[in-house]
Amino acid sequence: MSKAFLLNTHDLPRRAGEMKEYQLAIEFDKPIGIDVIAVPAGTLNLDLRLESVAEGILATGEFEAVAEGECIRCLDPIALTLNRNFQELYAYEPNRDDPDELEEDQLLMDGEVMNLEAPIRDAIVLALPINPVCDEDCEGLCPECGQKWAELPAGHAHEQVDSRWSALKGLLQEEN
Ligand SMILES: [Zn+2]
Ligand SMILES: [Zn+2]
């Protein structure tokens, strides 16, 4: 677990209704995302509002990040700007009244410290396309020569030419 996402909430009074705003620059050292597209390691600027409520601290965050990857069709680099927000309750204590909430996704305070990694990671991952493309209309690459269809002349082909050649070669061989 990266310590970069830990926030000490010491400044926030524990009385319900108290509120505090933060501007955090989170330095993280591993990309956040999926195999084909991810936000590279770097700095994430997070606007965060914390509110004391009876059961814990309500965290409302907003950030912008740029995910980088490759078009799955033409392999061109892609940069995708994500504007994301989240709102999560960090409970002081696990909610034992409701066994369903004892799942691992329940966020808990660790003393005065909250770990912002899960909501940030979820906000990024949920916004990423599983099959990123540079453009919905991207035609990709010719499987034979690997060139972009968009840059090849109309009617570009290999197999048809090849099969015509072999047919012609066959004819020539028969004649000899
Ligand atoms: Zn493409
Ligand atoms: Zn080709």
pLDDT number for residue 95: 72
Question: Of 76-80, 100-104, 123-127, which range is least confident?
Answer: 100-104
**Which ligand places an atom closest to the C-alpha of 135?**
1
Q: How far is the CA of 42 from the centre of ligand 1 (A)?
A: 26
Q: How far is CA 58 from the centre of its chain?
A: 24
Mean pLDDT of the region 130-150: 94
Tell me how far CA of residue 168 lies from CA of 88, 155, 172, in angstroms: 70, 20, 6
Ligand nearest to the CA of 140: 1
- Give the per-residue pLDDT at 18: 97
Strand residues in 76-163 grouped as ranges (E)? 77-91, 107-108, 113-115
Share of the chain above pLDDT 70, in %: 84
Round to the nearest angstrom and report the end-to-end CA distance of the chain. Answer: 75
Q: How far is the CA of 132 from the centre of ligand 2 (A)?
A: 23
Q: Which parts of 56-119 are beta strand (E)?
A: 56-70, 77-91, 107-108, 113-115
**pLDDT value, residue 135:** 94
Give the separation between CA 174 and CA 101, rounded to whole angstroms. 79
Q: What is the pLDDT of residue 72?
A: 95
pLDDT value at residue 4: 92
The answer to whether the CB of 145 falls within 8 A of the CB of 158 is yes
The whole-angstrom separation of Cα 45 and Cα 65 is 8
Q: Compute, in angstroms, the gap from residue 131 CA to the centroid of ligand 1.
A: 11
Q: What is the pLDDT of residue 78?
A: 96
In whole numbers, what is the pLDDT of the chain averaged over residues? 89
Kindly indicate the confidence band of residue 117, based on its pLDDT and cuts at 50, 70 and 90.
very high
Separation between Cα atoms, residue 117 and residue 130, nearest integer Å: 21
Token digits of residue 28: 């993280």
Specify burial of residue 119 (Cβ count, 10 A radius: 0-12, 13-18, 19+): buried
- The answer to whether residues 61 and 90 touch, using CB atoms and an 8 Å cutoff, is no
